[in-house]
Amino acid sequence: MRTPLMAGNWKMNKTVDEAVAMVNELKGLVADAKDVDVAICAPAVDLYAMNEVVADTNIDLGAQNMYYKESGAYTAELSPAMVKSVGCKYVIIGHSERREIFGETDELLNLKLKAAFANGIVPILCIGETLTERESGALYDKVKFQLAAALSGIEASDVKDMVLAYEPIWAIGTGKTATPEQAEEMIKFIRETVADMYDTDTAEAIRIQYGGSVKPNNVKEIMAQPNIDGALVGGASLEAESFSKIVNFK
């Protein structure tokens, strides 16, 4: 069975000192969490110091982005080797903020995914529709297109170990959560799409998270849905207490 992954996405929050203090507090609060994987995707400058704090804990680290080239003249970018060198197991690829604010395209994300797999980093690929797309009924086409474009040329053996995060853009940072039923409906559709693109084994193995205003008070009903394998948490991952409640949702 799939182990749920509760991952915090801190976005552009926390200096090194703040990051270290938070994980120091978090580690005791989640130490007894069973049957759940825990990760924090932190700003790149925080990761080196955090790596020392989370050694010998059940907290894994993730980067929020990386470039697909090995090295070279790409000012301000992070290579896969750099991400690994600070202890990251995961990397978020294609968050809607990267797509919308920084203009990342599906073609670029496909290259980033391939680089993650080539370097043994588990990508968390974000997909999801805007409010307009939901209201016009284009939500399924949008998500299917994003999947097909991002996964183009990627083997089933890689896909089964990756993570997908369904994040409806209208639910991010707005306090508007998709209802558990809306999230389940789309995540089930995503799993069926993976089955069509690959096979049933791959679709049953891949972890698919929900993200968008997940809080301690709504995580339980979200996690009660059969196809939802965890959460990608923004705002509520910034405080140890609220994130630990999400991790310890059972």
Ligand X SMILES: O=C(CO)COP(=O)(O)O
List, by residue number, the catalytic residues: 95, 167
| Closest C-alpha to 91, from 64, 118, 117, 109 | 64
Under the binding rule (CB under 6 A), the answer on residue 65 touching ligand X is: no
Phi, psi of 74 (to 5 degrees): -130, 70
Q: Is the dihedral of CA 170, 172, 174, 178 positive or negative?
A: positive
Among 4, 5, 6, 9, binds ligand X (CB under 6 A): 9
Under the binding rule (CB under 6 A), the answer on residue 62 touching ligand X is: no
Q: Is 9 annotated as a binding residue?
A: yes
Selected range binding ligand X among 46-54, 134-142, 179-187, 208-216, rule: CB under 6 A: 208-216
Nearer to ligand X, 11 or 27 (CB): 11
Nearer to ligand X, 64 or 202 (CB): 64
Selected range binding ligand X among 15-23, 52-60, 112-120, 165-173, rule: CB under 6 A: 165-173
Among 26, 235, 243, 247, binds ligand X (CB under 6 A): 235
CB of 222 to ligand X, least distance (A): 12
Secondary structure (3-state) at 245: helix
CB of 151 to ligand X, least distance (A): 20
DSSP string, 2-35: PPPEEEEE--S---HHHHHHHHHHHHHHHTT--S
What separation, in Å, do the N-terminal and C-terminal C-alpha atoms of the chain show?
Answer: 17
Q: What angle do CA 178, 191, 8 make, to 5 degrees?
A: 50
Query: What is the contact surface with ligand X in residues (CB under 6 A)?
Result: 9, 95, 167, 172-173, 211-214, 232-236
